Structure 1
Amino acid sequence: MRSDLIKEGPSRAPHRSLLRALGIDELEMKRPFVAVVNSKSDYIPGHMHLDKIAEQVKAGIRNAGGVPFEFNTIGVCDGIAMNHKGMKYSLCSRELIADSIEVMLTAHPLDAIVFIPNCDKIVPGMLLAACRLNLPCIFINGGPMLPGKSTETKNPIGLSEQFEYVGANAVGKMSLENLEQTAFTACPTCGSCSGMYTANSMNCLTESIGMSLPGSGTIPAVYSARLRLAKMAGERVMDLLKEDIKPSDIITEKAIQNAMRTDMAIGCSTNTILHLTAIAHAAGHDIDLSDLNEMGNTTPQICKLNPASSVFITDLNDVGGMQAVIKELASGGLINTDCLTVNGTVADRISKAPDADGVVIRKLDDPFSKDGGIAVLKGNLAEEGAVVKKGAVAPEMMQHKGPAKCYNSEEEAIAAITGGKVVAGDVVVIRYEGPKGGPGMREMLSPTSAIIGMGLGSKVALLTDGRFSGATRGASIGHVSPEAAVGGTIALVEDGDEIEIDIPARVLRVNVSDEVLAERKKNWTAPKQNLTGYLKRYAQHVTSGSRGAVFEDD
């Protein structure tokens, strides 16, 4: 066992004395040591209850003859970090999480791992660490929050609506009193926010790629079924250890294809494109935006969840969750059913799943759209690509031409939008917010929500070299690459330039001649950044959004 490095032989007597100081007895010393990697914290709603999940995981490990050792990682709540400097640190935290887990489990070699993430960058950060360490492991996340309720309509709502209400308040469509009342009802429980935002997207894709048990992506945080699943995960990791099944056996090229298919089928957050690209890279199966685009073109969207509709992740759970989705995709030959998972093959798992209900999960012959929920756009404005959550775009904005209104930061754009300077027909361009330019590729839910809340969602497009929250809807195009900070075309756009968006044709361009753009490039210089600390190091090493914003390989 790997843990023998710290407990076997005469030379490890000092190590054993330290382990005994922890209370490890002689029977436990002979058993496998299992890491429980927990992102629990006191101020992230998706993480506040993860101590209860960890208790069940550790009980399961002990039931199956192992000895659990728990430690915690950092985690950023994107909702709390939104629209201020803190958001620069969100995507950055993904690499820190992976690095810290690598440090802990190399310095203290254990035999297997149970990962307990929830929320946006924590799930992919832990998946990156799993690929690096390649030890038998399993994921059990904290589960989604229940949807909230509008104080006016009594309809179910999520965090995305609460952000949109800020825009409605800014133009007098909602009173300050009602805005504050919904702040008490939009997020009613612990768990990852209730729509198909980035956290739930990544939890669902972790299940579809095979690294978590069926139900892990959708069982609500407050259900006791989540606690039972956590105990099962603790027990199952011991079987994975005995069977010597590692992430490299599960996260194969075919499994990544399955994840890309399900990503497109359920209309996930555009952030999943960054994370799947990074995870595939860590697993040794590099993909690029053209691969994702091909999957999007050939995979129908069969689920449309909030923020694209009033259907929530809990509704998906009620009709069979991800396994029912995968089963429907498999019926059309779109899934590699021979892929290994943490509990049997994909075929084994979907054999026990219900059929698609036809409403929340539509049949392949009656999809919401014939292609996937995410589209990759290219053109002279995005030579390496850009992404849009196509399934959440109003039909009238699928094709759009309009004058550019350019802003060099999210703050500038917010001030212009809420100040009435953005009007119907405009294309808002927010630049110098990319991986290097931000740095950190901030999510920008506030400007997109302000546009929606002000009633301009079907009249105004927004594009950026930064990112959008999974809660974003509308013609919001992110990850424009190359980014402005490295001289991408987005840096050369000027106010009034005509921007052409054609989502069905997968085109994003600025209708300015190559000669004019070349002349502008001669006069362009990158803005000076006064960076310190981790952001400075991050900006030096991070790659393009089109490559998953991974660090440069040595």
Structure 2
Amino acid sequence: MKKDLRIKSKVFSEGSMKAPNRAMLRAVGVSDEDFKKPMIGIASTWSEVTPCNIHINDLAANAKEGAKEAGGVPLIFNTITVSDGISMGTQGMRYSLPSRDVIADSIETVVGAENLDGLVAIGGCDKNIPGCMIAIANSEVPAVFVYGGTIAPGSHNGKDIDIVSVFEGVGQHNNGNIDDGELRSIECHACPGAGSCGGMYTANTMASAVEAMGMSLPGSSSNPAETINKVNDCVAAGKAVYHLLEKDIYPKDIMTKEAFENAITVVMALGGSTNAILHLLSISHAIGVDLTIDDFNRIQEKTPHIADLKPSGRFVMQDLHRVGGVQAVMKLLYEAGYLHGDCLTVTGKTVAENLAEAPSLEEGQKVIMPFDNPKRIDGPLIVLKGNLSPTGAVAKVSGVKVKRHTGPARVFDNEKEATAAVMDNKINDGDVIIIRYVGPKGGPGMPEMLSISSILVGKGMDEKVALLTDGRFSGGTHGLVVGHISPEAQDGGPIALLKEGDLVTIDSDKKEISCDVSEDELESRRKGWQAPALYKKGVLGKYAHNVSCSSKGAITDFLTK
């Protein structure tokens, strides 16, 4: 006999005042017997606008099947997604980060308005994952996240390629290294089917972080999109939510400070995206965990980078899946003392209990390096501070040989003008490209700079010039780049006061970012500076007027918490 969870916890119990509620639900197929069961929402991010999400409609149906089999009444509803890869380098990229909050707010709205008892959220593209997780934190019902899974690599001239190969191909084409036909061939073979971008880019990074945090079932982050493993993930997630209801386990019981530390550790070990810092800060805010930007450096200093994954390495997520997946990496880290084993997870078991049942890495594999020969002895994501970024900037230094760079600032107030300068060969070796007024408020929306950073790679300039911005970088970005500079230019941060030719220094060993301009001179320049008018129209206008500093996660409800 299934436990009578619905009568215990929600509003559809017997009684005349509930008749209208039940009448509406009868019209969508809910029966008298169903009113005794928990209502479980299946939040789907299905869409035809991106390969990351095009298969999620079927996955939502699989999760519904699992929840129904376990004894719940599952109801599928949808939210939005946008494609970062498609909007990259255009004005559409301004909508990318705001979409995270639109996703979060829309899921929370449905869960709250419909009085749902539990939630399965299924996400694919970059902002789906943190958006779903913020919604899970704010909805405060038992929940499981399922990752839609990674895309298979494309193939070109016998080599694996992906979407980043296309961006870098543009730079090679501009440099005269490849012709039109070669660029088109790369374009046509980079994305062979459904799933999120294949390297350790933002989607795979955040999926790995959520699994490490205990909020998705073991294996969810590394099981590829178009496999039976992913179907099984979704069926199992539907069942798992019901069991969380039985055991009275809520997201706040799982998403503790130690769980976030596990997530950060796994991100560092895998060489994940800089966006992980932004998103983990926002999720921790939603759940009420005191995580700060300084916690990332603390964990970075003691966590080795052991995964040879793109963008700076050789392999993709599907390769990691074949040798044991994220669970095998977590098992390795746990046995070496890097993870908190006593954290609760959505299985109802602890991390240690889950890992006792997990496979070890395949013998002789090359994707994960041994602790005595890591990619780096510490993590590749670092937070830099200094007079150019008093509250913190973020760099990913995996594969970057240059530890310190000093050069003259080449200042641009938007990405378009900076990209044109690079394409027109107006940037010199040693320069420091500054792209400002593209932060959370100033963008608005803190757009990513994968296009220009990839062009620099394609032109062979990725370590000859530095690229600094108060905007963001894609998880596919690599090279001498620093993003999330805060305070942003729109708020009058020091980056707004830089002038052409000012000497700027990035020192990854000292974790410093500075300009050779005195405090007196900066203050003199500030007196003549005026903030541009904030954007006012539509969703971007709402975002610009409500978003916090990137060093706090670019959250939009910070005034009320």
Q: Same fold (TM over 0.5)?
A: yes
SS in structure 2 of the partner of residue 96 of structure 1: helix
Q: How far, CA to CA, are the matches of 2:503 and 2:543 in structure 1?
A: 34
SS in structure 2 of the partner of residue 327 of structure 1: helix
- The two structures have a TM-score, normalised by structure 1, of 0.97
CA contact (8 A) 1:266 1:301 kept: yes
The superposition leaves residues 176-204 of structure 1 with CA deviations (integer Å, 9 ceiling, x where unpaired) of 11111111110111000111111111111
Task: Compute the displacement of 1:356 (Å).
Answer: 4.1
CA contact (8 A) 1:435 1:542 kept: yes
**Aligned: 1:400 with 2:405:** yes
Q: How far, CA to CA, are the matches of 1:466 and 1:305 in structure 2?
A: 24
Q: How far, CA to CA, are the matches of 2:40 and 2:89 in structure 1?
A: 39
> What is the match of residue 281 of structure 1?
285
The superposition leaves residues 125-177 of structure 1 with CA deviations (integer Å, 9 ceiling, x where unpaired) of 11011111111111112100001122xx4211111111110111112111111
> What is the match of residue 127 of structure 2?
121
Q: How far, CA to CA, are the matches of 2:472 and 2:213 in structure 1?
A: 24
Mapping of residues 258-297 of structure 1, within 5 Å: 258-297=262-301
Q: How far, CA to CA, are the matches of 2:509 and 2:460 in structure 1?
A: 24
SS in structure 2 of the partner of residue 500 of structure 1: strand
> What is the match of residue 142 of structure 2?
136
SS in structure 1 of the partner of residue 75 of structure 2: strand
Select which of 470, 474, 478 maps to 2:475. 470
Task: Compute the displacement of 1:236 (Å).
Answer: 1.4
> What is the match of residue 29 of structure 1?
35
**Aligned: 1:430 with 2:435:** yes
- The two structures have a TM-score, normalised by structure 2, of 0.96
> What is the match of residue 236 of structure 2?
232
AA of the residue aligned to 1:243: K
> What is the match of residue 84 of structure 2?
78
The superposition leaves residues 295-337 of structure 1 with CA deviations (integer Å, 9 ceiling, x where unpaired) of 1111111113111112111111111111111122212221100
SS in structure 1 of the partner of residue 482 of structure 2: strand
**Aligned: 1:174 with 2:181:** no
SS in structure 2 of the partner of residue 203 of structure 1: helix
Mapping of residues 49-448 of structure 1, within 5 Å: 49-150=55-156, 153-343=157-347, 344-356=349-361, 359-393=366-400, 395=401, 397-448=402-453
Task: Compute the displacement of 1:545 (Å).
Answer: 0.5
SS in structure 2 of the partner of residue 391 of structure 1: coil
> What is the match of residue 515 of structure 1?
520
SS in structure 2 of the partner of residue 341 of structure 1: coil
Task: Compute the displacement of 1:486 (Å).
Answer: 0.8
**Aligned: 1:41 with 2:58:** no
RMSD (Å) for aligned C-alpha atoms: 1.3
Task: Compute the displacement of 1:411 (Å).
Answer: 0.8
Number of residues paired by the alignment?
550
AA of the residue aligned to 2:438: E
Task: Compute the displacement of 1:261 (Å).
Answer: 0.9
SS in structure 2 of the partner of residue 303 of structure 1: coil
SS in structure 1 of the partner of residue 301 of structure 2: helix
The superposition leaves residues 513-552 of structure 1 with CA deviations (integer Å, 9 ceiling, x where unpaired) of 2222121111111123453112111111111000000122
**Aligned: 1:531 with 2:536:** yes
SS in structure 2 of the partner of residue 367 of structure 1: coil
CA contact (8 A) 1:381 1:508 kept: yes
Mapping of residues 532-547 of structure 1, within 5 Å: 532-547=537-552
Task: Compute the displacement of 1:98 (Å).
Answer: 1.2
CA contact (8 A) 2:334 2:341 kept: yes
Cα 1:309–1:244 change in 2 (3 A) is same
The superposition leaves residues 21-63 of structure 1 with CA deviations (integer Å, 9 ceiling, x where unpaired) of 1122222222221100000011111110001111211111111
AA of the residue aligned to 1:466: G
The superposition leaves residues 56-94 of structure 1 with CA deviations (integer Å, 9 ceiling, x where unpaired) of 111111111111100000111101111111111110111
CA contact (8 A) 2:467 2:482 kept: yes
SS in structure 1 of the partner of residue 209 of structure 2: helix
Please, which moves more after superposition, 365-374 or 442-451?
A: 365-374
CA contact (8 A) 1:408 1:432 kept: yes
Task: Compute the displacement of 1:366 (Å).
Answer: 2.3
Q: How far, CA to CA, are the matches of 2:305 and 2:282 in structure 1?
A: 23
AA of the residue aligned to 2:305: Q
Instruction: Point out where structure 2 has 5 or more consecutive residues left out of the alignment.
Output: 1-5
CA contact (8 A) 2:534 2:541 kept: no
AA of the residue aligned to 2:290: D
CA contact (8 A) 1:265 1:302 kept: yes
SS in structure 2 of the partner of residue 183 of structure 1: helix
Select which of 498, 517, 520 maps to 2:503. 498
AA of the residue aligned to 2:84: D
SS in structure 1 of the partner of residue 536 of structure 2: coil
CA contact (8 A) 1:329 1:364 kept: no
CA contact (8 A) 1:3 1:33 kept: no
AA of the residue aligned to 2:147: N
SS in structure 1 of the partner of residue 559 of structure 2: coil
Task: Compute the displacement of 1:484 (Å).
Answer: 0.6
Please, which moves more after superposition, 347-356 or 319-328?
A: 347-356
Cα 1:4–1:514 change in 2 (3 A) is closer
AA of the residue aligned to 2:117: D
Cα 1:3–1:245 change in 2 (3 A) is closer
Task: Compute the displacement of 1:7 (Å).
Answer: 4.9
Task: Compute the displacement of 1:429 (Å).
Answer: 0.4
CA contact (8 A) 1:461 1:476 kept: yes
Q: How far, CA to CA, are the matches of 1:78 and 1:4 in structure 2?
A: 38
> What is the match of residue 17 of structure 1?
23
CA contact (8 A) 1:7 1:15 kept: no
Please, which moves more after superposition, 214-223 or 6-15?
A: 6-15
Q: How far, CA to CA, are the matches of 1:524 and 1:481 in structure 2?
A: 17
SS in structure 2 of the partner of residue 543 of structure 1: coil
CA contact (8 A) 2:421 2:427 kept: yes
AA of the residue aligned to 2:395: V
Q: How far, CA to CA, are the matches of 2:317 and 2:14 in structure 1?
A: 47
CA contact (8 A) 1:433 1:441 kept: yes
